[in-house]
Amino acid sequence: MKPRTILITGGSGKFGRPLVSHFLEMGDRVITTCRSSESLEKILVEFARYGEKFVGIQADLTDPEAVNTLMETLDSQGIRPDCLVNNARSLGFLKIESNGLVGRENFAGEFLLDVIVPYELTMALGRQKNSQLRSVVNIGSMYGTVAANPHLYADPARQSPLHYGVAKAALAHLTKELAVRLSNNGVQVNCVAFGGVEGRVDEAFKQRYAQLCPMGRMLKEDEIVGPVDVLLSDKCSGVTGHTLAVDGGWSVW
């Protein structure tokens, strides 16, 4: 396949780093964003060996001007992405108040980063002068399909953020809306609804997860890249508006 230019938001995170690494290894040019200068410095060092094939940009995407500024940066460097992966998220928004409720600011923040920013960025790239945009993948969650199962959590009221799933459900619907609205421009828009990926949780959590999941385990980090890769490839040229469940069967029973 011809090398592409792929913009991946949140390239310094758990999902972002393996995605950036994979597409660079495939020979694609990868542009990625992260929020903090510390993260940017780390990934600039990590991916320095790819030279001009790798571009790291610091952007707080919750900033109202962030998408415009990012587009100006891309335009000024003559970068016109073929593919977009909307992946960035902030764990900071997933807090639950001591009374067990989701605060308005965190609800709005989660919705902003998970739904509004992917919308704005997709449309901005679709309307870029001489746009090359052909394929968008939104990184979703099984919690956009099914509600959080209280049996998974030691303290369900405080550990399963309701607004996360609500925002991911909206992201799955955004995927359909954008697939329809951008189809005349030849742009495919799809979503991958991932299950939990091991790494940030303790052994007790992993065991409870295994009991509740048909495949009997959490996803492994090396299972993140494949579904995104295939949706961005020519193999899926007939697929748009789809949310692909990659959750070990969590959402089927």
Ligand X SMILES: NC(=O)c1ccc[n+]([C@@H]2O[C@H](COP(=O)([O-])OP(=O)(O)OC[C@H]3O[C@@H](n4cnc5c(N)ncnc54)[C@H](OP(=O)(O)O)[C@@H]3O)[C@@H](O)[C@H]2O)c1
Print the binding letters for residues 97-116 with ligand X: x by CB under 6 A, - otherwise.
Answer: ----------------x---
Minimum distance between the CB of residue 176 and ligand X, rounded to whole angstroms?
18
Tell how far CA 11 is from the center of its chain: 9
* 87 is a contact residue toward ligand X (CB under 6 A): yes
State residue 180 phi and psi, 5-degree precision: -70, -50
Choose one: 22-30, 73-81, 85-93, 122-130; the region binding ligand X (CB under 6 A).
Answer: 85-93
Cβ proximity to ligand X, 69 vs 183, nearer residue: 69
* Cα–Cα distance for residue pair 21/177, rounded to 1 Å: 30
Choose the stretch contacting ligand X; rule: CB under 6 A; options: 5-13, 122-130, 148-156, 236-244. 5-13
**Buried residues in 45-80 as b, exposed as e (16+ CB within 10 A):** ebbeebeebbbbbebebbeeebbeebbeebeeeebb
Among 24, 55, 59, 231, binds ligand X (CB under 6 A): 59
Q: What share of the chain is helix, strand, coil (3-state, %, to 5)?
A: 50, 15, 35
Minimum CB distance to ligand X, residue 24 (Å):
16
Spatial separation of the C-alpha atoms in residues 12 and 98, rounded to whole Å: 30
Give me the amino acid identity at 152.
L
Smallest separation (angstroms) from ligand X to the CB of 98 = 23
Site for ligand X, rule CB under 6 A: 10-16, 33-36, 39, 59-62, 87-91, 113, 139, 141, 194, 196-197
